[in-house]
Amino acid sequence: MKFSGVRSLTLVSVAVAAVVLAACGKKDAASDATVIKIGHVGPVSGAIAHLGKDNENGARMAIEELNAAGLKIGDKPVKFELLAEDDAADPKQGTAAAQKLVDAKVNGVIGHLNSGTTIPASQLYNAAGIPQISPSATNPKYTRQGYAGAFRVVADDVHLGGTLGKYAVETLKGKNIAVIDDRTAYGQGVAEEFKKGATAAGGTIIGHEFTTDKASDFNAILTTLKAKKPDVVFFGGMDAVAGPMLRQMKALGIQAKFLGGDGICTSELAKLAGDAMADESVFCAEAGGVEGEQKPAWTSSALTSRPSTTPMCRCMPLTFMTLSKSWPQPW
């Protein structure tokens, strides 16, 4: 698949849901096709709207491809419809959006993007008997509630955060490690698992500070951590906060490597971080989405001859990536 990140995972999610739900729809009187209504919910407004729009576009592409293929179930034609809602990455708006889809009697839901919206919404879908597939929610609680219809297509925070912690110590050679999280279900969850993984690998957590997913001033917590001389800073949160944080780290002279989960693995991070994003200083990991044999990185000469404003993403084992300011679009 040639689409990257959460968009490709969303497309996969829709395809899976479509096949599973095809027998559950209603007849379209005009075409005699069975209509399958699939809901999609993500943040298409707010600080991480770029991620939500990516997800929604992936869902629309999948719906278009499935309809173009003329899919049939039991020799009967099937037509798929997408009902999209915005949750703005807010749990309250997320449950309101979920209720809209329940009232619309959708056959299944793709979403939500964030763990913090996915978990409370899953209670509504479960009560209504509506299957839900999240393409990106990683908090373990989502699929450990005992709901038969709750699914994810990526690794959870136990695997993502724990592996990142091990990577910080064994590969990045981090000894004094600072942790910051945004107190969301995703950020806090992945940060706690990161700490466990780093400690088990022999690293020392020298401090754990907190912010929010809407904050823009991090000088107080960064100044506190700077005094402890970290060589790695892990951030549990999204790119909209990570970018400004990197700028302020540079302003304070903090030269530690910056590490995060899939929430910062985006092309938008380079724009948000600006000149604070140096080569080989920012690392992240995708919680899924690897297809086929992993391919080698673009060489430095290729990067020089093919400038771009999107971040470099060097695929490594366990789908770790390094990010920098310039990188041509991958294969």
Summarised one tens digit per residue, pLDDT across range 61-71 is: 999 998 999 98
Mean pLDDT for 10-37 is 61
Residue 142 reports pLDDT greater than 80:
yes
User: Whole-model pTM?
Assistant: 0.79
Split into its structural domains, the chain has a count of: 2
For residues 140 and 170, state if they share a domain: no
Of residues 41 and 23, the one with the higher pLDDT is 41
For residues 190 and 95, state if they share a domain: no
For residues 144 and 175, state if they share a domain: no
Name the domain boundary from 88, 122, 152. Answer: 152
Question: 138: closest CA among 188, 196, 85, 84?
Answer: 188
Name the domain boundary from 152, 171, 199. Answer: 152
Provide the β-strand partners of residue 134: 152
Question: 153: closest CA among 66, 308, 262, 45?
Answer: 262
- Has residue 225 been placed in a domain? yes
pLDDT > 70 in the chain, percent: 77
Give, as one character, the DSSP assignment of residue 172. S
CATH number for the domain harbouring residue 9: 3.40.50.2300
Cβ neighbours, 10 Å, residue 178: 25
Q: Cα separation of 169 and 57, whole Å?
A: 37
For residues 142 and 169, state if they share a domain: no
Q: Is 242 helix (H, G, I), strand (E, B) or coil?
A: helix
| DSSP H or E run through 166 | helix 157-170
Q: Cα separation of 51 and 90, whole Å?
A: 14
The contacts of residue 34 (CB under 8 Å, 6+ apart) are 22, 23, 25, 26, 27, 28, 73, 76, 77, 78, 79
pLDDT in tens, 231-277: 999 999 999 999 999 999 999 999 999 999 989 988 899 899 998 98
Provide the β-strand partners of residue 26: 35
Q: Residue 304: what pLDDT?
A: 25
The contacts of residue 100 (CB under 8 Å, 6+ apart) are 85
For residues 246 and 282, state if they share a domain: yes
For residues 148 and 208, state if they share a domain: no
For residues 174 and 305, state if they share a domain: yes
Query: Within its chain, how far is the Cα of 185 from the centroid?
Result: 13
Domain holding 58, by residue range, is 5-152
pLDDT in tens, 177-231: 999 999 999 999 999 999 999 999 999 999 999 999 999 999 999 999 999 999 9
Residue 315 reports pLDDT greater than 50:
no
* pLDDT band for position 317 (cuts 50, 70, 90): very low
- Has residue 328 been placed in a domain? no
Name the domain boundary from 152, 187, 211. Answer: 152
| Residue given tokens 């409370």 in the structure block | 120
Residue 18 reports pLDDT greater than 60:
no
pLDDT in tens, 92-134: 999 999 999 999 999 999 999 999 999 999 999 999 999 999 9
